[in-house]
Amino acid sequence: MNDAGESRPQFQPDSSGVAAPYGFTNGSLSWCGAVLLNRLPSQVTASVDAAGTGVFLRWNHLPLASRHLLECGCLGAHTQFCGCARTEPAWMEAFTGTRSWDIPYETYFLIGTLGAGGYFVLVSLVDGPYPCSIRGNDLDRLEIYADSGEDGACLPQVTGLYVAAGYDPYLLIQAAAKQVAGSCGTVRLRRDKKVPAFAELFGWCTWDAFYTEVSQEGVLSGLASLAAAGRAPAFLVLDDGWQSVRPCGENTPSVLTAWEANEKFPGGLAGLSWASKQTYGLRYLLVWQALFGYWGGAEAHEFPQYRFARTEGRFSDSIRAARRFNPRQACAREIVHPDDAYRFFHDNAAYLRSCGVDGLKLDGQGYLEAYTADHGGRVSVSRKMREAVEGAVHVHLEGNVIHCMAHPAELIYHSASTVLYRSSPDYYPDKAESHGKHIFNNALFSLWFGEFVHPDWDMFQTQHEAANLHAVARALSGGPVYVSDKPGHHDAALLAKLVLPSGEVLRPADPALPTRDCLFVNPTTDPVLYKIFNRNLRSGVIGIFHCQQGAGEASSTNLQAVFSPQDVEGLEGERLAVYCHHTTELLEMVLEEQREISLAPRQAEVVTVVPIENGFAPIGLPDMFNSAGVVTSKEFDIHGVCVVHLRWGGRFLAWSDRRPSCVLLDGHRIHFTFDEQFHGLEILIHGLGPRELRVYWDAV
């Protein structure tokens, strides 16, 4: 089996450098006879990767220049595709299409369909000094744009594109990501990096609660309010508004003047850390800051120990032409010299740690692109900055960092050790059309970039008309679960579906991905329900969403879809127990079986799928969205007794073919109920902490 999960003999490359089943002849790249790209210019050479997964394309004999617009021929007879493209310097968004002209500027990743059930991926690369991106033009042709951002940073060739194909889109993406990571040499795969411990806990962020008017009094009132609602946060993100800054006038961002907190925090960060941890049991305090210190950088004379450079914002032509670029983003900033960034970030992190701070939310990173001229270019400066940040947070803050506004490829592909990454533009409580789009953007980002980083789907507010939609998405996302509620504005019942009384969340281990039948739909414009899936221990979970909330008939009417256990890729079993959270249905299905569902606007459903083994399947805690996430192990002993270990207690539900004779909880008999018609075994488990259940069907 090769990395893409297909049986394939080993072929030696031919004279073109490409091994079968890929072919490269007369400017046409094909796979198993299907054309991937044609009309490639003669200057392009192709080389297959070591695993035979895909092909790297190189443009040769280029003039020495910092910018190149490279012809990339045409797509073959492809019918549909989806991908992610930067729409502004800091963020990517998802898109779908059918023709090359549907591919926006600054596209980094594309997956589409081939004939006979195949799939292809196109990935733009970071090569030497050049970050590359894909785009279509009005002639239905593809182009690769490469821009180093530095006149002196140039080479006569660019390996700008990776192309791969296969029959399983998910295995293909995994295999392709492995080859791209090996090619970069600067990024490790997500599976090889550790998710910070705070991501296993419930959190609160101050942003939508206070915006920049945050204060120590407000923070403590928010912690008290959430504790009164029954779910005290275990981690806090103190967002923008706490730092000491100097305003610089209209349309000019403020600059950082000191590392210490401003006057709204009379006890400083140390006082806030002590009060929140001692009084409210907070375990992790993360603070926000921008990559440059603040949005406008730092006041150089206040930090005389470091070199600074005042630079004019010079974004690439490609991002300036992107859909959401705002010219006001390009302004002068006083930024620390890249060669002093290592000391700057280490000193800053050491200071924060001395105040009891445990981590960072590092924002505004995408703007770095505009400030790299005269310092070595985009790739060189990004590498220095990212190495400085990663070193500082690992030495001083145990690796606790959320990367935010950091979607340029040269930043993502320099994530060597840190892993938690905001994967979409912000949650916007006041933009009705944004809520379904938020789910779409995060799911497609996760599809490719989730191979390199662990996506964070951002916070949300529990007292909001779309709260259920967001809560289900966060519970299944695989990322951290945190809210931005205003003090006194909490939905306690909704929080209880997300967070255990211990402050833990039932987080699936992997990023949530769109199901196979939803890969190429845009749920904000197509009249369809959108489905994502994730996995728990030997079980799966499906989220189904009505994402249309703008104008149009579909945004005000119910939509229908079907779901199936096979929506969870890789799930096996001849018989499966299926639990629908909102309808509370427990039923048995076979893997290929389908069931219809209808949802109203802004609504979501959770479907838990557990293989029935030896006549038994633990659904977990049905009062929580990711119910099966509470199960940490399940096994049958030699006597046929099922032993289930749980993270926590509560109302426990399982499928059982027949009534048990006895159930033991931590060695003691416990009462249970059994529904003969629906095969539902229900147990009310009191007490705190991890528990052990033993289910017997024969005499004890």
Among 185, 217, 245, residue at a domain's last position:
185
Examine residue 402 and state whether it is found in any structural domain, yes or no. Answer: yes
Q: Give the pLDDT of residue 326.
A: 83
Residue 380: pLDDT band (50, 70, 90) is very high
* Claim to verify: residue 338 and residue 198 sit in the same structural domain: yes
Q: Which of 160-174, 257-271, 566-580, 685-699 has the lowest mean pLDDT?
A: 685-699
**Which helix (H) or strand (E) element contains residue 470?**
helix 467-477
Same domain, 524 and 626: yes
Q: What is the pLDDT of residue 5?
A: 45
Distance spanning both ends of the chain, measured CA to CA: 47
- 221 with 181, same domain: the answer is no
Do 662 and 595 lie in a common domain? yes
Q: Could you tell me the CATH number of the domain that includes residue 604?
A: 2.60.40.1180
Is there a domain that residue 109 lies in?
A: yes
* CATH assignment of the domain containing 328: 3.20.20.70
Residue 262: closest CA among 205, 204, 213, 211? 213
| Claim to verify: residue 209 and residue 145 sit in the same structural domain | no
Output the pLDDT for position 1. Answer: 39
Count of residues making up the chain: 700
| Cα 492 to Cα 507: distance, rounded to the nearest angstrom | 19
In sequence order, the 6+-apart residues with CB closer than 8 A to the CB of 551 are none
Report whether 407 contacts 441 (CB < 8 A): no
Q: Is residue 489 in a domain? A: no
User: Who's near 330: CB < 8 A, 6+ residues apart?
Assistant: 312, 313, 314, 315, 320, 370
pLDDT at 412: 98
In 9-90 the beta strands, taken as DSSP E runs, fall at 22-25, 28-31, 34-38, 44-48, 54-59, 67-71, 74-75, 81-88
Peptide bond into 13 cis (omega under 30): no
Q: Which pLDDT belongs to residue 20?
A: 66
The pLDDT of residue 311: 81
| Residue 522 pLDDT | 97
**459-488 burial by CB neighbour count: b if 16+ within 10 A, else e?**
bbbbebebbbbbbbbbbbbbbbbbbbbbbe
- Both tokens of 198, joined, read 């705070």
Cβ-proximal residues to 606 (8 Å cutoff; 6+ apart), any chain = 472, 475, 476, 541, 542, 543, 544, 580, 581, 582, 625, 626, 627
Of 135-149, 327-341, 527-541, 646-660, where does mean pLDDT reach its minimum? Answer: 327-341
What local confidence, expressed as pLDDT, does residue 553 receive?
A: 64
Kindly tell me the sign of the dihedral angle through the C-alpha atoms of 19, 7, 517, 118. Answer: positive
Averaged pLDDT, 687-698 = 94
**Domain identity same for 152 and 265:** no
Q: Of 126, 156, 185, which one is at a domain's C-terminal end? A: 185
Q: Do residues 81 and 230 share a domain?
A: no
Summarised one tens digit per residue, pLDDT across range 310-366 is 888 889 999 999 988 887 777 767 889 999 999 999 999 999 999 999 999 999 999
> Which amino acid is located at 285 in the chain?
L
Q: Collect contacts of 424-430 with beta carbons under 8 A, ≥24 apart.
A: 424/91, 424/92, 424/93, 424/457, 424/458, 425/91, 425/93, 426/458, 427/208, 427/458, 427/459, 427/460, 427/461, 427/470, 427/484, 429/208, 429/460, 429/461, 429/464
Query: 260 and 319 in one domain?
Result: yes
Residue 309: the pLDDT is 87
pLDDT in tens, 476-496: 999 999 999 999 999 999 999
**Same domain for 219 and 177:** no
Asked if the structure places residue 487 within a domain, the reply is no
Give the bridge partners for 403, in sequence order.
Answer: 362, 421
Q: Residue 338 has what pLDDT?
A: 94
Q: Which residue is it, tokens 């898109």?
A: 95
Tokens of 613: 């083994």
Two tokens, residue 448: 């490719």
Distances (CA, A) of 352 to 218, 287, 358: 21, 9, 8
**Cα-based distances in Å from 40 to 70, 113, 635:** 10, 20, 55
Whether 215 and 261 map to the same domain: the answer is yes
Q: Which 3 state secondary structure label does DSSP give 546? A: coil
Average pLDDT of every residue of the chain: 94
Across the range 524-539, mean pLDDT stands at 96
Within-domain flag for 88: yes
Q: Are 337 and 257 in contact (CB under 8 A)?
A: no
Tokens of 497: 């579906």
Q: What is the maximum span of the chain, computed from C-alpha positions, in angstroms?
A: 82
What's the pTM value of the predicted model, to 2 decimals? Answer: 0.95
| Shared-domain flag, residues 300 and 417 | yes
- Cβ–Cβ < 8 Å for 532, 538: no
pLDDT > 90: percent of the chain: 90
Q: Which two tokens stand for residue 322?
A: 């992107």
Q: Report yes or no: 653 and 625 within 8 Å, Cβ to Cβ.
A: no
Asked if 528 and 668 sit in the same domain, the reply is yes
The pLDDT of residue 534: 98
pLDDT the model gives residue 687: 85
Q: Is the pLDDT of residue 289 over 90?
A: yes
Question: β-strands 539-545, 604-611: how paired?
Answer: antiparallel
What is the pLDDT at residue 68?
Answer: 98
Q: Which residues pair with 449 in a beta bridge?
A: none
pLDDT in tens, 99-113: 999 999 999 999 999
Element holding 205 (H helix, E strand): strand 202-205
Percentage of the chain exceeding pLDDT 70: 96
Domain count, the chain: 3
User: Residue 664 domain-assigned?
Assistant: yes
For residue 277, what are the CA distances in angstroms to 271, 317, 483? 10, 48, 18
Q: Are 586 and 678 in contact (CB under 8 A)?
A: yes
Distance between CA atoms of 617 and 611, rounded to whole angstroms? 6
Question: How does pLDDT run across 550-604, given as a tens digit for each residue?
Answer: 656 667 899 999 999 999 999 999 999 999 999 999 999 999 999 999 999 999 9
Q: Dihedral angle at the C-alpha atoms of 166, 167, 170, 172, nearest 10 degrees? A: -10
Assess if residue 452 is contained within a domain: no
Ramachandran bin of 165, using left for φ above 0, alpha for ψ from -120 to 50, beta for the remaining angles: beta
Measured CA to CA, the distance from residue 673 to residue 626 in angstroms comes to 22
Of 162, 185, 208, the residue that ends a domain is 185
Asked if residue 423 lies in contact with residue 457, where contact means CB atoms within 8 angstroms, the answer is yes
Q: What is the pLDDT of residues 4-55, one digit of tens each?
A: 544 333 333 444 446 669 999 999 999 999 999 999 999 999 999 999 999 9
Residue 117 lies in a domain: yes
DSSP label at residue 580? E
β-bridge partners, 483: 204, 460
Q: Structural domain of residue 125, as residue ranges?
A: 22-185
